[in-house]
Amino acid sequence: MSGQGDFWRLTCFDELPSTSDYCLNACRSGDPVAGLAVLARRQTKGRGSRGRTWLDGGQGLALSVVLDGTQAGPEALGGWPFVASLGFYDGLLRAQPAAQPHLMIKWPNDILLDGRKMGGILIEREGPYVLVGLGANLVSAPDPDVLERTVACLAQCGSVPDVEAVARHVLDGLTFWSEQWRQKGFASIRAAWLERAHPVGTPLVVQGGTTYEKGLFAGLAPDGRLLLDTEGGMKTIATGDILLMEKGA
């Protein structure tokens, strides 16, 4: 991961179907692509996690990057959601500092504003590369009737810079936190993530397939898995959709 910031090659497009698909095809070309960053001002077929579609609310961030996964060791995919969410969070905060009291990371890598989803991250492996796709509502949010839920946008906290400037802030954040991971290990990433995430004691529901667990957020295991304090004891969660509940619910 060393030196990632020295060779970010940001390419901007007015429109793409998917920035992550563009990066995926670049990885399959056989050419060295580590450091590639692709930004689309409009994305027509954005992809989210677990096969979902990422809807563009207009003038949002659609940014995907390619990293050399071999430099991060075997824990790459397990660590990158936390590194990426820290870089994403900090980059968005640099773009609009007034958002600080409103932003929060939801395990493992969603960005919330006042409890509503504002940004998400898709992480994939392709050969020796790790692809990180980052999407955020900046100026406006998708129609809640289409999404069947209300989401947030950064402009709720004030004016937002041009999307290319936001992308460069996020790239700076990714550079910083990937270097922190390389130099200080995952423990430093875990501590920084917990400072920006939903507080310990937050009521959560974890859903995934046939899984349904309800309890209180109890922090992160050393490897980043979620710790959930349930009526049946402490549970360690490796994957699932997280819903933040109101206290007393």
Q: Could you tell me the fold of the domain covering 4-196?
A: BirA Bifunctional Protein; domain 2 (3.30.930)
**Can you give the pTM of this predicted structure?**
0.90
Tell me the C-alpha distance between 37 and 7, whole Å: 10
Nearest Cα to 107, choosing from 10, 204, 181? 204
Give 212-227 pLDDT, tens digit per residue. Answer: 899 999 999 999 999 9
pLDDT digits (tens, 9 = 90+) for 50-106: 555 555 656 899 999 999 887 654 455 589 999 999 999 999 999 999 999 999 999
CATH 2.30.30.100 fits 203-244, yes or no: yes
The predicted structure's pLDDT at residue 2: 36
Backbone torsions φ then ψ of 25, nearest 5 degrees: -65, -35
Q: Which has the higher per-residue pLDDT, 202 or 210? A: 202
Q: Which two tokens stand for residue 112?
A: 């919330």
> In the structure, what pLDDT confidence band is assigned to residue 203 with cuts at 50, 70 and 90?
very high
Q: Please, what is the angle between helix 186-196 and helix 76-95, to 10°?
A: 40
- All structural domains of the chain with their residue ranges: 4-196, 203-244
CA-closest candidate to residue 72, choices 222, 169, 180? 180
* DSSP symbols for 44-65: SSEE-GGGPEEPP-SS-EEEEE
Q: Tell me the β-bridge partners of 74.
A: none
Q: pLDDT, tens digit, for every residue of 107-164?
A: 999 999 999 999 999 999 998 899 999 999 999 887 665 555 678 999 999 999 999 9
Round the average pLDDT of the chain to a whole number and report it.
87
pLDDT in tens, 160-190: 999 999 999 999 999 999 999 989 999 999 9
Which residue would you say has higher pLDDT here, 249 or 176?
Answer: 176
